[in-house]
Amino acid sequence: MSSYLCAIGTANPPHRIPQPQIADFMAAALELDERDTRKLRALYRVSGIGHRYSVLPDYARVNGDFEFFPNTPGLEPFPAVGRRMAEYRRFALPLAVEAVQACMEQLPEVELHSVTHLITVSCTGMYAPGLDIELVGALGLPGHVQRTCVNFMGCYAAVNGLKLADAFCRANPQARVLVVCVELCTLHFQKSREDDHLVSNALFGDGAAAVLVKATSAAHQPSLALTAFHCDLEPDGHADMAWHINDFGFEMTLSSYVPRMIQDGIGQLTQRLLADLPVELADIRAFAIHPGGRKILESIEQALGLSAHDNRYAYGVLREYGNMSSATVLFVLAQLMRELTAADNGAPVLSFAFGPGLTLEAMLLTVAAENVKNEVNVGSMENEANVESKLGVLSEAS
């Protein structure tokens, strides 16, 4: 018995800010001299990010007139945790609702009131009664819907949400599970010149993603069967990727050693995932990898012998959105799903996500498109040759 990821909806706040503009804000906020400003701008240029989204317009306002940060030299008094959590509560619900609506619009055969389980995922804000209860009211879900919160697990948390959804569907074939990831990372800008903070300030953006998982595939579009999961820990990275609540927001530790640790561990993780399955790495032509950063993607390519083209969905999401923590891998899967056709039925998809611990999560998914007409699902594709060039040889594995 399988469970199926039937649709993914995504949403971002209205403020889409070019990466160089954010670099200018950061240089001014940190009161950097000319030399350090040049170094900071170089860091932003090589990040692989073109734009990021934020619930705060301030990152586009170098010369002040801020709405969240104080309009003072050095942004003092710097906003404390309480102020940041008030903004999280203000913005998280509408962004989550928008993502759910985008998801459910793809599944006209499924009514929202038929949802049996709601899983909310976030590491950038918490309150109670929380986002899960507010979503029940905002979406008109029944009060008896079973709610589960996955909090503070970082960038890999969406995989844990999908594991729960898979277990619910396997236990009850009538289950319809809504998984909602909401991350407002830009609320946690740290005014620090430490390397970890400079890097995290350069990577993270805001976004939400919603997924519907059920025991049968979608009626009119490709789905992804949740075939297998595997988790592993790299204990040596315990202090190299971490997430702590401090007086002025949530502080990310992201050391320069993380890409190497992931590179060293990703091969073994993949072997263990596929060990009991009739699939080998050479059979896989579609990948949905969490773009924790450009160096992380390049390290995985080197370890597994992948090309940048294999990683195109991850690079595309990194370029357009940055790292949105738990929501990011769902954005990558959404990009992949938009290009699937009936010809891809049965093709395996390998997905990875990473987070504090250092935790390495892997998923194997299988394209389920047997009931879908052999049509292109994305308007930008003009013909079958173009489809083949964009999907690579994904259909060879079907």
Q: Quick one: pLDDT at residue 15? A: 97
pLDDT digit string (tens) for 71-104? 998 899 999 999 999 999 999 999 999 999 999 9
pLDDT at residue 384 tops 70? no
Q: Quick one: pLDDT at residue 200? A: 85
pLDDT at residue 347 tops 80? yes
Distance CA 239, CA 209 (A): 28
Q: Quick one: pLDDT at residue 28? A: 92
Q: Quick one: pLDDT at residue 358? A: 82
Sketch out the chain's domains with CATH numbers: 223-397 (3.40.47.10)
Q: Quick one: pLDDT at residue 233? A: 84
Question: In this prediction, what percent of the chain has a pLDDT beyond 70?
Answer: 89
pLDDT at residue 387 tops 90? no
Q: What is the mean pLDDT of residues 259-272?
A: 80
Q: Quick one: pLDDT at residue 255? A: 53
Residue with more model confidence, 168 or 386: 168
Q: What is the DSSP letter of 152?
A: S
Q: Quick one: pLDDT at residue 241? A: 57
Q: How confident is the model at residue 395 (pLDDT cuts 50, 70, 90)?
A: very low
pLDDT at residue 113 tops 80? yes
Most confident of 167-176, 366-375, 382-391: 167-176
Element (H, E) at 344: none
Structure tokens at 56: 């705060």
Question: Which residues, in sequence order, are CB contacts of 4 under 8 Å at separation 6+?
Answer: 213, 214, 215, 216, 217, 218, 223, 224, 225, 226, 368
E strands present in the chain: 4-11, 15-18, 51-54, 117-122, 146-151, 176-184, 206-214, 223-233, 241-246, 249-254, 286-289, 348-355, 359-368
Q: How confident is the model at residue 355 (pLDDT cuts 50, 70, 90)?
A: confident
Q: What is the mean pLDDT of residues 155-167?
A: 97
Element (H, E) at 301: helix 294-304
Q: How confident is the model at residue 238 (pLDDT cuts 50, 70, 90)?
A: low
Q: Quick one: pLDDT at residue 252? A: 65
Q: Quick one: pLDDT at residue 270? A: 87
pLDDT digit string (tens) for 167-214? 999 999 999 999 999 999 999 998 888 887 888 899 999 999 999 999
pLDDT at residue 294 tops 80? yes
Q: Quick one: pLDDT at residue 357? A: 76
Distance CA 47, CA 283 (A): 31
192 to 185, 188, 195: CA distances (angstroms): 16, 12, 8
Number of helical H runs and strand E runs in the chain: 11, 13
pLDDT at residue 289 tops 70? yes
pLDDT digit string (tens) for 27-79? 999 999 999 999 999 999 999 999 999 999 999 987 778 999 999 988 999 99
Report whether 172 contacts 228 (CB < 8 A).
Answer: no
Could you say which of 103, 155, 169, 185 is catalytic?
155
Paired residues of 5 in beta bridges: 213, 224
Distance CA 143, CA 187 (A): 31
CA neighbor of 395 nearest in space, from 371, 378, 374: 374
Region of poorest pLDDT, from 116-125, 153-162, 389-398 = 389-398
Q: Please confirm, yes or no, whether 185 is among the known catalytic residues.
A: no
pLDDT digit string (tens) for 273-284? 888 888 999 999
Q: How confident is the model at residue 398 (pLDDT cuts 50, 70, 90)?
A: very low
Q: Quick one: pLDDT at residue 185? A: 95
Q: How confident is the model at residue 144 (pLDDT cuts 50, 70, 90)?
A: very high
